[in-house]
Structure 1
Amino acid sequence: MTTTSPSPIPPVYRLVFLYLEPLSTLVGAVHAHYLQAKYLTLTHAASAPAPGEPIPPSTSIVLSQLANLYLLLCINEALVLRATADLKVWKVFLFGLLVADLGHVYSVRPLGAWVYWQWWRWNAIDWGNVPFVYFLAAVRTCFLAGVGLKPASEKVRLKNT
């Protein structure tokens, strides 16, 4: 008789990293590739092309490349983390994403300091760029710190019972 042991990954982490974040990055990929004018306007209206003006080819290419990277993140996170319950793999993967979170939050600095805390001024992209990334970074930090994970001694005891 074979039994499967429960996943060492608590449900809240599985929900965030296997469903919520991949879905959000897929939405970002679709917007960056297919809704470029809207994406640019929401990012910084003052520097975006005026309505009806063409998007410069260089900008369009960069947005499509961004969309491609968002899609890569979506696929990697959804599939790699589903392929294993090994905490070491999850920690290494999520550490890389935590570093990327810091870069993502830093990337919006040209908008001004207000973007980091004046939530009443945020539009849809600001909500994704700042508080959602803060949330993901906080959840990653909790995971990396072992919050909600079973201690190693408890895992050994469970294997021996």
Structure 2
Amino acid sequence: MDTEPPIPFSYRFLFLYFEPLGAFFGTIINILDPLRYLQSLSPTATASAYSPLTQPIYDQLAAHLLFFSWSQAVVLRSTDDVKVWKSLLFGMFLCDILHLFASYRVLGPEVFFSPSLWRWEEWVNFVMLYGPGGLRLAFCAGVGVRSGEHKAIKSF
């Protein structure tokens, strides 16, 4: 009897624990300190760039991040079905592409393609967010994933 899950521990750790916690932390920051979040994404953002009138945008972004956190921490944990994992993670990869595009637009090609010009915030964004994006794509391509697809739904 084959009891080894088709999804390796490294993917499980990243997608079931690390990323959901990071997304949940992003949720809290967007609700409680949106200026900090804005400054982490835009090197030219100042206190005058934030307006309480734009808080609904940050609240909606917080909702998006909370959905990511829930999807990974709860939905992925409920199944070993590789098709479900691939479907959800590919959708998140598409979001990663738009996040990269947004970073490109605000930083410009001079900074975006020059790690020596990155602030610590860019290092965090690119390494901690887009590294896992590459791993999402690798998972979707089947890298390190067993070919047998378990379809058992587990309780959480």
Report the TM-score range of the alignment, normalised by the length of the smaller protein. 0.7 to 0.9
In 2 relative to 1, CA 141–57 (structure 1 residues): closer, same or farther, beyond 3 Å? same
Q: Which residue, out of 133, 136, 146, partners 2:129?
A: 133
What one-letter code is carried by the residue in structure 2 that aligns with 1:12? S
> Are 2:7 and 2:80, in contact at CA under 8 Å, matched by a contact in 1?
yes
Please give the TM-score of this superposition, normalised by the length of structure 1: 0.79
Partner of 2:41: 43
Give TM-score, length-normalised by structure 2. Answer: 0.82
Using CA pairs under 8 Å that are at least 6 residues apart, name the structure with larger relative contact order, 1 or 2. 2
**1:108/1:115 contact within 8 Å kept:** no
Unpaired segments of 5 or more residues in structure 1? Answer: 156-161
What displacement does 1:58 show? Answer: 2.8
Cα 1:5–1:92 shift into 2, 3 Å:
same
Q: CA 1:15 to 1:115, structure 2 compared with 1: closer, same or farther past 3 Å?
A: farther
CA apart distance, 1:7 = 1.7
Alignment of 1:8-19 (within 5 A): 8-19=6-17
Query: In 1, Cα distance between the equivalents of 2:32 and 2:87?
Result: 32
Cα separation, 2, equivalents of 1:89 and 1:103: 22
Q: Percent identity?
A: 32
1:159 aligned partner:
none
Give the paired residue count: 148
Structure of higher CA gyration radius: 1
**Structure 1 range deviating more: 30-39 or 69-78:** 30-39
* 2:6/2:147 contact within 8 Å kept: no
Residue number in structure 1 paired with 2:153: none
- Partner of 1:148, secondary structure, is coil
Q: Distance in 2 between matches of 1:21 and 1:68?
A: 15
**RMSD value over aligned CA atoms?**
2.3
